[in-house]
Amino acid sequence: MSGWPLEHLWVVPDYMGRGIGRALLQHASGLAAATGVKQLTIDAEPYAEPFYIACGARRIGVIDAPLDGNPSRQRPQMLLATSLD
């Protein structure tokens, strides 16, 4: 994957679901676009994938990411185009 990797996008639990995550992602996307970077790459937590899809990202793959007690866990690999057109 090329592009800038998105890392550490977190919203304090009491403030989730208010549009803050989308605003932060749009801000990061705008910074990338301003420097000519065409996409953000996202190594997503499984439960965050619907958020990223709602924000326009798409899944391009998946990697195995087992945890104790969840050996079949996988993390979606996603792309978000930074272009606003």
Q: Does 45 bind ligand COA (CB under 6 A)?
A: yes
Output b/e per residue, 9-45; b: 16+ Cβ within 10 A.
Answer: eebeeeeeeeeebeeebbebbeebbeeeeebbbbebe
Task: State the number of binding residues for ligand COA (CB under 6 A).
Answer: 17
Q: Considering only residues 40, 41, 51, 80, which one is a binding residue for ligand COA as defined by CB under 6 A?
A: 51
Give min distance, CB of 7 to ligand COA, in A. Answer: 8
Q: Does 1 bind ligand COA (CB under 6 A)?
A: no
